[in-house]
């Protein structure tokens, strides 16, 4: 087992954590990645080196995802086959919990479960900062919507990965905080499963040591849903305008719905396939078209039925149309993410490596 710790501008919590690990597991290899912290943090990393850790440094901050992939590259090249436990540098993860995740990996290895990542899952009880509680709740809901799986803690930085998973870990996109969510979103496509073990919920000084930027990093994390919402809203505007024009031109609700949806669906398909979904172009265009318009037919029937019921209840056409679209939005996203534009499930893809991996780093230990 190897413990991998990405660190950006760390305080004395980092050497304190490493001393605690050394007390519990004196011989376990520890790899620390200095994510461009700068010369003013040299003393902290010198202290880490003195504790017997490998340290990788590079010149400028590249993001947590880049730091993790840098560590995975080093492990693949120098310590292949070892399981990896990733922990944060800010003191949020106790040694007891780090070793609990490591023990779960050992048990999985003994049971020949080579394709299961282990998440240290916080319960979010007690004195938890409101932003942290809200952020995890929002991301957990997004993840469930996108994959159909329920994971208690999608934002945990305490994670365990079997050694066989490292090539795939290097291939997943993302350089910053979005990388860890992308791993969860793409795990099933890669042929991997996710296991959660309960850990303590620790926030030191209201999480003041975190470098998470609430707006910029949240946009990165929620990018798949935000792009989908933008695409859906554009298609909705086009669909609604055409729907209103057709209701004036023809005396038929069915024809108005069909005509408007035919045009807006083509636009929505092209945008989602080419821009919104990461694996949108994995399938041949002909197969994607068949799947998309089969799904569109089902959603169209549902849309028509909801509008008809709402109008029968006395709601005017435009409000009925808007409400029907909102009610079906979540189902539309889930169906496209999980079925229409999902990537091919294949462990064979794990053999590739990321083009984003650093070519040159400074390594000491």
What pLDDT is attached to residue 207?
46
Handedness of CA 349, 350, 352, 356 (dihedral sign): positive
Burial of 81 (C-beta count, 10 Å sphere; 0-12/13-18/19+):
exposed
More confident call, 12 vs 130: 12
Return the ∠ at Cα 329 (arms to 325 and 332), rounded to 5°: 120
What pLDDT is attached to residue 359?
40
What pLDDT is attached to residue 147?
66
Average pLDDT of the chain is 81
Average pLDDT over residues 239-253: 88
Using the predicted structure, report yes or no on whether residue 349 has a pLDDT greater than 50. no
Average pLDDT over residues 146-158: 81
| 130-147 helix and 214-221 helix, angle to the nearest 10 degrees | 10
3 state SS of 313: coil
Average pLDDT over residues 282-303: 82
pLDDT band with cut points at 50, 70 and 90 for residue 216: low
What pLDDT is attached to residue 338?
64
Hey, what are 120's tokens? Answer: 């240290």
Using the predicted structure, report yes or no on whether residue 208 has a pLDDT greater than 80. no
pLDDT band with cut points at 50, 70 and 90 for residue 278: low
Q: Tens of pLDDT along 188-198? A: 878 899 999 99
| 214-221 helix and 223-249 helix, angle to the nearest 10 degrees | 70
Using the predicted structure, report yes or no on whether residue 164 has a pLDDT greater than 50. yes
Using the predicted structure, report yes or no on whether residue 218 has a pLDDT greater than 90. no
How far is Cα of residue 329 from the mean position of the Cα atoms in its chain?
21
pLDDT band with cut points at 50, 70 and 90 for residue 53: very high
Average pLDDT over residues 354-361: 43
Report the half-sphere exposure of 17 (CA within 13 A, side-chain side): 30
Hey, what are 149's tokens? Answer: 């799986």
What is the spatial distance between Cα 198 and Cα 124, in angstroms, rounded to a whole number?
11
Taking the CA atoms of residue 224, residue 333, residue 182 and residue 191 in that order, the dihedral angle to the nearest 10 degrees is -150
More confident call, 217 vs 327: 327
Hey, what are 155's tokens? Answer: 């934002």
φ, ψ of residue 6 to 5 degrees: the values are -80, 140
Q: Which residues of 274-311 are buried (b: 16+ CB within 10 A; e: fewer)?
A: eebbbebeebeeeebeebbeebbeebbeebbebbeebe
Using the predicted structure, report yes or no on whether residue 260 has a pLDDT greater than 70. yes
What is the spatial distance between Cα 235 and Cα 303, in angstroms, rounded to a whole number?
14
How far is Cα of residue 88 from the mean position of the Cα atoms in its chain?
17
Q: Minimum mean pLDDT among 29-38, 91-100, 110-119, 211-220: which range?
A: 211-220
Number of helices (H) and strands (E), helices first, in the chain? 12, 8
Using the predicted structure, report yes or no on whether residue 103 has a pLDDT greater than 90. yes
What pLDDT is attached to residue 357?
46
Where in 52-115 does DSSP place strands (E)? 54-57, 84-86
Q: Tens of pLDDT along 3-34? A: 999 999 999 999 999 999 999 999 999 999 99
What pLDDT is attached to residue 48?
94
What is the spatial distance between Cα 89 and Cα 110, in angstroms, rounded to a whole number?
29
Q: Minimum mean pLDDT among 15-29, 91-105, 346-360: which range?
A: 346-360
Average pLDDT over residues 331-353: 58
What pLDDT is attached to residue 115?
92
Average pLDDT over residues 286-312: 85
Per DSSP, helices labelled H in 191-284 are 214-221, 223-249, 253-271
pLDDT band with cut points at 50, 70 and 90 for residue 113: confident
Give, for 357, the enclosing helix (H) or strand (E): none
More confident call, 267 vs 339: 267
- Is beta strand 54-57 parallel, antiparallel or unpaired with respect to 362-364? antiparallel
Using the predicted structure, report yes or no on whether residue 168 has a pLDDT greater than 80. yes
More confident call, 277 vs 359: 277
């Amino acid at each position: 087992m190897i413990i991998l710790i990405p660190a950006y501008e760390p305080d004395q919590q980092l050497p304190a954590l490493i001393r605690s690990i050394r007390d519990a597991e004196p011989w376990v290899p520890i790899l620390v990645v200095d994510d461009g912290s700068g010369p003013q943090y040299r003393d902290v990393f010198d202290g880490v080196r003195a504790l017997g850790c490998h340290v990788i440094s590079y010149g400028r901050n590249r993001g947590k995802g880049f730091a993790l992939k840098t560590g995975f590259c080093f492990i693949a090249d120098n310590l292949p086959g070892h399981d990896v436990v990733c922990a944060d540098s800010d003191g949020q993860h106790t040694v007891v919990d780090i070793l609990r995740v490591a023990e779960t990996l050992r048990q999985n290895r003994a049971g020949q479960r080579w394709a299961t990542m282990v998440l240290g899952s916080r319960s979010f009880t007690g004195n938890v900062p409101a932003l942290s509680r809200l952020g995890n709740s929002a991301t957990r809901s997004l993840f469930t919507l996108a994959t159909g799986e329920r994971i208690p803690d999608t934002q945990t930085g305490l994670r365990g990965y079997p050694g066989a998973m490292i090539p795939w870990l290097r291939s997943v996109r993302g350089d910053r905080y979005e990388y860890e969510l992308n791993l969860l979103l793409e795990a099933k496509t890669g042929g991997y499963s996710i296991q959660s073990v309960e850990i303590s919920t620790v926030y030191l000084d209201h999480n003041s040591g975190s470098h998470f930027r609430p707006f910029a990093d949240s946009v990165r994390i929620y990018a798949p849903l935000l792009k989908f919402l933008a695409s859906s809203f554009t298609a909705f505007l086009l669909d609604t305008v055409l729907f209103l024009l057709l209701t004036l031109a023809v005396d038929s609700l069915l024809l108005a719905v069909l005509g408007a949806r035919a045009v807006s669906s083509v636009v929505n398909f092209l945008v989602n396939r080419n821009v919104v979904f990461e694996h949108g172009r994995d399938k041949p265009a002909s197969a994607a078209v068949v799947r998309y318009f089969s799904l569109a037919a089902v959603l169209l029937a549902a849309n028509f039925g909801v509008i008809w019921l709402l109008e029968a209840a006395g709601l005017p056409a435009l409000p009925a149309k808007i409400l029907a679209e909102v009610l079906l939005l979540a189902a539309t996203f889930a169906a496209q993410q999980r079925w229409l534009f999902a990537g091919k499930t294949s462990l064979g893809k794990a053999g590739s490596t990321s083009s984003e991996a650093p070519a040159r780093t400074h390594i000491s230990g």
